[in-house]
Structures are given as C-alpha cells and as structure tokens.
C-alpha cells in the first residue's frame, strides 16, 4: 500500500496557518501513516495527535501574540527574547491541559525534530519520548539566540529548523510515497542567507558546538533545497503543498491577535477550498509487490 506522510514546517507565530489547517484535517477525519513536525509545527502536530485542537488554536491565536511571550516582557521574565518556559509551562500545560499521554498510548508513527548541540545535528524523537512536562517540545522550538538551550535527558536541544526547516527528507527516509506538506510561507519563497551579525553570534554563543554555526551558515541553502524537493514532488502529483493563499502581516516573532486569528482562519479556509483535491489525494491505491 501507499504510505502517506504529513510534513509540517515551523514558522513561529506564522504557525497559526498550520494550526488552522490541522483543525480542518481533524474536522474531516483525515489521518496519516506518518507525520513529522519542526518547531511550531511540532507543537501543533502533537496537539493534532493528542486531539487537543483547542490548545493549538489558543496557542496560535492568543498566547503566541501576547506581549508577555515575546520581546521586552519576555526578557524581563526569562532573560531571553522569547519566554518559552511561560509558553509551555503556563499557557499549554496549565491553561490548555496539553498532555502527551494520548500520543504515548496510541503510539502513532510520529517524529519531532530538535537540534542536539552534543551531536551537532537535528535528531528525531518518537512518541515514547514525548513527556508531559513538554520539555522535549520546548526543545524543538528553542530558537537559537532567542531562547535558552533546553536540557532534556542529558541532551542540549535547540530548534530543529537549524537544518531541517521542511523535513521532507525525513518523511522520504521513513518510506512515505505521498506527502502532504504544510508550510507557512508562499510556494515560491526563497530564503536568503542569515545576517552576518547573526552568524557571528552563533559562533560566540554556541562555541562549544561549532557545527551549529556551520549549519546555520548554510541554513538558507538547506531550506531552498528542501522546498525544491517538495515542489518537484508536487509537480509529479506525489505531494500536496498547502501554503497561504494570500499574505497576512504576521511575522515569525509577532502578530496581533486579530491578524493571528485571520491567519488561523486562512489555514482552515484554504484547506476547505481544496477539499475535493485533498480527499482524492488521500485515497490509496494498491501497489504491485
């Protein structure tokens, strides 16, 4: 049989689009043989699999846009530009009661990616690794320079998007033959190199892991290569690329609640507009041995 994979990009606050798209998938009873998420995509993927779409909606439309999560207030709270502990410990765990128990119990074929500073590469974690304190999830989202390194079971983790922004290659490695890819940027988006000051800071802040700075230096090349793979698969009808149909002014770092709700709704509406296409794509055909 064919093996259909769900591939989710990150995107910070722009992940509201992904959250809305996943809400549509949940409402239409669509599931996948394998799924993989990076950064905010990993968070919304676990909400989807834990059947807590409300947590994804609140996170993407309210908490992520809150002034206490990003910027001056976040720095005062946690000493970093993004208050990740507040986001995960208070917003998701306490307020939205997000737990990984349903995923560990069901054991779907799912992975989230985080960059391991000890190994100098993005590593993959399955359902048994997802803890109810959401420490691993926090590690998958810990943006370099903007957050603290997350300690998890002896590992030192950062955002897996350092190397795997659109984890299409991982889905291929896992044997998927068809792919639904949800991104937060337009189909033709081309990533540019990081600013020199950012690369300099990467070398200084993570000097114990020089590979991290090297990987960040070619991050734009990796992203563009990953999207080339996705677009090629889409042209061959082996992938369905779902991305925003219009521009809504929400950045990786910030967006007011109205704009975030608009982006969430766009994710839902874009999927609904392609309902017949999606349903046809999800049908499996017998393959010859």
> Is pLDDT above 60 for 185?
yes
Residues 51, 56, 57, 58, CA torsion sign: positive
Longest dimension (CA), the chain: 60
Please, which pLDDT band fits residue 286 given cuts at 50, 70 and 90? Answer: low
Gap between the Cα atoms of 217 and 78, Å rounded:
27
Please, which pLDDT band fits residue 151 given cuts at 50, 70 and 90? Answer: very high
Q: CA distances (Å), 191 to each of 13, 123, 163, 186, 187, in order?
A: 18, 23, 13, 11, 12
Interval 261-288 mean pLDDT? 89
Please, which pLDDT band fits residue 1 given cuts at 50, 70 and 90? Answer: confident
Q: What residues have CB less than 8 Å from 41, skipping those under 6 apart?
A: 8, 9, 10, 11, 15, 18, 182
pLDDT tens digits, 3-34: 999 999 988 889 999 999 999 999 999 999 99
Please, which pLDDT band fits residue 289 given cuts at 50, 70 and 90? Answer: very low
Determine if residue 195 is left, alpha or beta; phi over 0 gives left, psi from -120 to 50 gives alpha, anything else beta: beta
Cα 148 from chain centre? 18
What per-residue confidence (pLDDT) applies to 79? 81
What per-residue confidence (pLDDT) applies to 6? 98
What per-residue confidence (pLDDT) applies to 47? 97
Interval 89-110 mean pLDDT? 96
What per-residue confidence (pLDDT) applies to 287? 47
Interval 166-174 mean pLDDT? 98
pLDDT tens digits, 26-50: 999 999 999 999 999 999 999 999 9
> What percent of the chain has pLDDT above 70?
97
Yes or no: say if 159 and 216 are a contact pair by the CB < 8 Å rule: no
Interval 186-200 mean pLDDT? 92
3-state DSSP of the chain? CCCEEEEECCCHHHHHHHHHHHHHHHHCCCCCCEEEEECHHHHHHHHHHCCCHHHHHHHHHHHCCCCCCECHHHHHHHCCCECHHHHHHHHHHHHCCCCCHHHHHHCCCEEEEEEECCCCEEEEECHHHCCCCCHHHHHHHCCCCCCCCEEECCEEEEEHHHCCCCCHHHHHHCCCCEEEEECCCCCCCCCCCCCHHHHHHHHHHCCCCHHHHHHHHCHHHHHHHHHHHHHHHHHCCCEEEECCCCCCCCCCCCCCHHHHHHHHHHHHHHHHHCHHHHHHHHCCCCCCC
Token pair of 249 as six digits: 């002014």
Please, which pLDDT band fits residue 254 given cuts at 50, 70 and 90? Answer: low
Interval 106-120 mean pLDDT? 97
Average per-residue pLDDT for the chain: 93
What per-residue confidence (pLDDT) applies to 273? 97
Interval 241-264 mean pLDDT? 86
Q: What is the pTM of this model?
A: 0.93
Interval 222-227 mean pLDDT? 96
Please, which pLDDT band fits residue 269 given cuts at 50, 70 and 90? Answer: very high
């Amino acid at each position: 049989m064919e093996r259909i994979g769900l591939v989710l990009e990150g995107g910070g606050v722009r992940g509201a689009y992904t959250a809305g798209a996943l809400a549509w998938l949940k409402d239409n009873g669509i599931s996948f043989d394998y799924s993989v998420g990076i950064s905010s995509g990993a968070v919304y993927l676990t909400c989807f699999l834990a059947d807590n779409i409300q947590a994804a909606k609140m996170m993407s439309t309210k908490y992520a846009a809150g002034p206490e999560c990003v910027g001056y207030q976040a720095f005062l709270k946690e000493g970093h530009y993004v208050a990740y502990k507040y986001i995960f410990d208070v917003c998701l765990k306490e307020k939205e009661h997000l737990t990984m128990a349903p995923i560990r119990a069901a054991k779907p074929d799912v992975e989230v990616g985080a960059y391991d500073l000890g190994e100098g590469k993005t590593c993959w974690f399955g359902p048994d690794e997802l803890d109810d304190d959401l420490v691993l999830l926090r590690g998958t989202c810990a943006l370099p320079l903007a957050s603290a390194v997350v300690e998890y079971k002896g590992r030192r983790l950062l955002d897996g998007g350092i190397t795997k922004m659109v984890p299409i290659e991982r889905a291929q490695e896992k044997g998927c033959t068809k792919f639904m890819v949800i991104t937060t940027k337009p189909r033709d988006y081309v990533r540019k190199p990081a600013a020199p000051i950012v690369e300099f800071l990467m070398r200084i802040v993570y000097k114990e892991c020089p590979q991290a700075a090297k990987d960040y230096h070619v991050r734009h090349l990796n992203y563009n290569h990953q999207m080339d793979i996705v677009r090629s698969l889409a042209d061959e009808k082996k992938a369905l690329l779902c991305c925003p149909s219009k521009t809504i002014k929400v950045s990786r770092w910030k967006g007011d609640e109205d704009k975030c709700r608009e982006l969430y709704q766009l994710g839902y509406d874009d999927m609904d507009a392609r309902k017949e296409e999606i349903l046809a794509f999800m049908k499996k055909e017998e393959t010859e041995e």
